[in-house]
Structure 1
Amino acid sequence: MNNLLNLTDTHTHLYSEEFDQDRDEMMQRAIKAGVSRFFLPSIDSSCTQKMYELEKQYPEQIFLMMGLHPTYVKENYLEELAHVERELASKKFYAVGEIGIDLYWDKTFLKEQQHVFQYQIQLAKKHKLAINIHCRDAFDEVFEVLESEKATDLFGIFHCFTGDFNQAKKAIDLNMKLGIGGVATFKNGKIDQFLSEIDLQHIVLETDSPYLAPVPHRGKRNESSYTLLIAQKLAEIYQVSIEEIAEITTANSKAIFGI
């Protein structure tokens, strides 16, 4: 049955060293599970080469983003931003990401994170690309930047959305789709409680692998084949078939990434 599904993993770190031992097998498992497209966010310049190699290896399946992740905004952030800018000008990407604000690990560079987030949104507008937002313990700060850049050419995905219903509505009002992953399967994940009130046209699927594996693999390494488990959970929540979940969320991802 799964070969008929057309699932899209809109956020997966396939270049992670956690896949170094079995990357090809992991890709085959995902393809077998019905995942036909994989969107890779950038973290910083250290992963660029690996991303390019993967794109060469799987040109039909792998699509790249370019950006500087907020937890990698350090003393050398201007250098890293220049790298993002250079790469965006030199080849085809499908989004600027993953970008945003993260105050969970460290608040030292909040000002720089805000500046870098805003600057990369402006780069996305310049290149007519979507953005892919990382937000952790920083909803107010992220929304503040998004509000200041609000425009018809600002659109994208709120990756790993873990907010409440009002924050979900706010994100949608700002032209964002909600990236739904393993958290929807967690007992304490909370988003499953209001998700059915949000129209499926605002939802895309993601794994964020190797992180945030869905139940029953919680706490273990996540992988893109588990997009299927997230689709199954959404089929339960929305009371529709898994085929419908796959079809709608993939169509949403194509609209965002311009495919």
Structure 2
Amino acid sequence: MKLFDSHAHIGSEEFDGDRAVVLEECERAGVLGILNVSTSSEDLPRIIDLGDRFPILKPAIGIHPERIACVSDSEAVEEVEAVEKLLRAQSDRVFGISEVGLDFSPHVLRKGHGEPECIKARQRSALERQAVLAKEYGLPMSVHSRSAGEKKIK
């Protein structure tokens, strides 16, 4: 059986001690690839670097909706601009756009920056911009959706 992991955070610090071993085990088990997703602009260089070091990892860059919820409007714009900047410089090293989407779950809206409707609007704007980037660069996009129902992409 051929397997592809459509969502993983192999770039997280929890894997720093045994990442190579874990990835070798994945390859032996028949995993062909792992979509290694970012959550913030801080993750972007690491996600790209890991993709270069481990061919099984497929770098997917984007800003997680929970991150977008927890920053100001201007900071959200800066986060997405970092994705755009990386794509302009290194799109050939990027497999896809992720982890992007909408997360309207109560705990995210409670801890977010601003009123719930403002947080939702900020998430929609960030998702729309990242969808445009995916289309512009011909990249697949993996969407995170929680408590957003039909409000995703139309």
TM-score (norm 2): 0.83
Q: Deviations over 1:186-238 (max 9, x none)?
A: xxxxxxxxxxxxxxxxxxxxxxxxxxxxxxxxxxxxxxxxxxxxxxxxxxxxx
Tell me the number of residue pairs that the alignment of Structure 1 and Structure 2 aligns. 139
Q: Deviations over 1:51-74 (max 9, x none)?
A: 12212211x322111211100102
Give, in whole Å, the separation in 2 of the partners of 1:106 and 1:7: 32
The reply to whether residue 85 of structure 1 matches residue 67 of structure 2 is no
1:42 is matched with: 38
What is the identity, as a one-letter code, of the residue corresponding to 1:116? A
What is the identity, as a one-letter code, of the residue corresponding to 2:79? E
1:62 is matched with: 57
- Three-state SS of the structure 1 residue aligned to 2:7 is coil
Q: 2:108 aligns with which of 106, 114, 122?
A: 106
- Three-state SS of the structure 2 residue aligned to 1:52 is helix
Give, in whole Å, the separation in 1 of the partners of 2:140 and 2:82: 18
More strand by share: 2
State the 1:9 CA deviation. Answer: 1.2
Give, in whole Å, the separation in 1 of the partners of 2:146 and 2:96: 20
Give, in whole Å, the separation in 2 of the partners of 1:106 and 1:9: 25
1:12 is matched with: 8
Deviating 4+ runs (over 6 angstroms)? none
State the 1:86 CA deviation. Answer: 0.6
Name stretches of at least 5 consecutive residues in structure 1 with no aligned partner: 148-259
Give, in whole Å, the separation in 2 of the partners of 1:138 and 1:85: 25
Give, in whole Å, the separation in 1 of the partners of 2:25 and 2:32: 11
Give, in whole Å, the separation in 1 of the partners of 2:82 and 2:124: 18
Q: 1:122 aligns with which of 126, 132, 148?
A: 132
State the 1:33 CA deviation. Answer: 0.9
Structure-to-structure mapping, 1:161-180, within 5 angstroms: none
2:112 is matched with: none
- Three-state SS of the structure 2 residue aligned to 1:40 is strand
State the 1:78 CA deviation. Answer: 0.9
More helix by share: 2
What is the identity, as a one-letter code, of the residue corresponding to 2:37? P
1:25 is matched with: 21
Please tell me the root mean square deviation across aligned C-alpha atoms, in Å: 1.4
